[in-house]
Homo-oligomer: A and B are copies of this chain.
Amino acid sequence: MITVGVIGATGYAGSELMRLLVAHPNIQSILCGSHSHAGSPYQSVYPNFGKIYHQQLDSADIAQMADRCDVLFLSLPHGISSHQLNSEILKKCLIIDLGADYRLKDVAVYEQWYNTSHGSAQLLNQAVYGLSELYRSDIAASRLIANPGCYTTTAILTLHPLLYDGLIESKGIIIDAKSGVSGAGRGEKLDSLYCEVNETLKAYAVGTHRHTVEIEEQLALSLTHGKSIKDVVLQFTPHLVPMNRGILATVYANLQEGVGLSEIEASYKKHYDKEQFIRMLEPGVFPQTRWVKSSNYVDIGFTVDKRTNRLIACGALDNLVKGAAGQAVQNMNIALGFAESAGIDMIAPFPL
């Protein structure tokens, strides 16, 4: 039984993480920290924890919290953890960072796309990219896990087997992704108001979204079997959809010559058949976010359009679970040798 801490516990991803940790069978005690709500009982910010979790929020001091935890989760805006983390802290506890600071291997790409300097580039080679299904053994050995983004988890899991197995062209990939509103966080912004988001739809950050380079780096690794982070350039377009949770990524890729539905199906099967949290649908059946909402599952469907010789695949997941808090717990489970599904094997409730 361990003690864990969550810094940034009052954001949407942080509170989802708190929920999962409270129910986790291997956790004895949970500390929580917050910049904005330090000193308040957690249940005063999130009444759903009433009669269940009775702790107060501490401050958001990473070093102090690290002294008291076996695992420390960071759910912070980018730029903060890279300036506060150091090797002293990593000696004290396992860090699982839900933010962006340690996801990209190329620090120049990070600094360009995030328009900031990286505070601890020397730690990057210790960081493992926490996409559980792809880096299980590295995660098991790491002290610093960079939990992937929500869009990126969806896109990478949908495309990885096909690039790894050489079934689709790496050039010309388009990822048209759609997300619920919780992905935008709990900030008090005009664009997040109910009446500004409800009953409408838009593309945003077209050609400029930061998850683009995260996907490219990882899919280059898929394509080159780990040899390069530079060989994929793709199109990624996020859209905002009027619903609380869920991501759907619709992926378009040109098939390599001679590749058809059966090769695609076999590749997915080979890579994912034994994965508990990845569910391949029958060819021609496409996923819906409702079937994964509030669960750690990823559903993937696909077809081949013979008219255009193109693969169309869709991945669906819950942006706050498999796209954030659930995968963070999955990574902790792997790193500490718990059952990989401990605390995250919920069925998606429906209708929700």
The residues of A with any CB-CB pair to B shorter than 8 Å are 12, 15-16, 19, 22-23, 46-53, 172, 174, 176, 178, 180-182, 186, 188-190, 192-204, 206-207, 233-235, 237, 239, 241-246, 248, 250, 252, 276, 279, 281, 284, 286-295, 297, 299, 303, 305, 307-308, 310, 312, 314, 316, 320, 345-352
Compute how far the CA of A314 lies from the CA of B207 in the bound complex, rounded to whole angstroms: 13
Contact A303 B207 (CB under 8 A): yes
The answer to whether residues A207 and B305 also contact, given A178-B178, A248-B201 and a CB cut-off of 8 A, is: yes
Residues of B within 8 A of A194 (CB): 181, 192-194, 196-198, 242, 244
Residues of B within 8 A of A181 (CB): 194-195, 198
Compute how far the CA of A252 lies from the CA of B234 in the bound complex, rounded to whole angstroms: 12
The answer to whether residues A188 and B199 also contact, given A46-B350, A47-B299, A239-B248 and a CB cut-off of 8 A, is: no
Contact A314 B200 (CB under 8 A): no
Rounded to whole Å, the gap between the CB of A73 and the closest CB of chain B is 17
The residue on B at minimum CB distance from A318 is: B349
Contact B199 A48 (CB under 8 A): no
Contact A193 B188 (CB under 8 A): yes
The residue on B at minimum CB distance from A181 is: B194
The residue on B at minimum CB distance from A307 is: B233
Compute how far the CA of A346 lies from the CA of B284 in the bound complex, rounded to whole angstroms: 35
**One of B47, B51, B241, B312 near A207 (C-beta < 8 A):** B312
Contact B244 A299 (CB under 8 A): no
Contact B48 A291 (CB under 8 A): yes
**One of B182, B207, B308 near A235 (C-beta < 8 A):** B308
Contact A288 B195 (CB under 8 A): no
Contact A295 B243 (CB under 8 A): no
The 7 A-B residue pairs with the shortest CB-CB distance in the complex, in nearest-first order: A200-B290, A195-B351, A207-B305, A176-B176, A48-B348, A202-B288, A194-B197
**One of B195, B207, B245 near A12 (C-beta < 8 A):** B195
Residues of B within 8 A of A305 (CB): 206-207, 235
Contact A199 B51 (CB under 8 A): no
Compute how far the CA of A288 lies from the CA of B190 in the bound complex, rounded to whole angstroms: 15
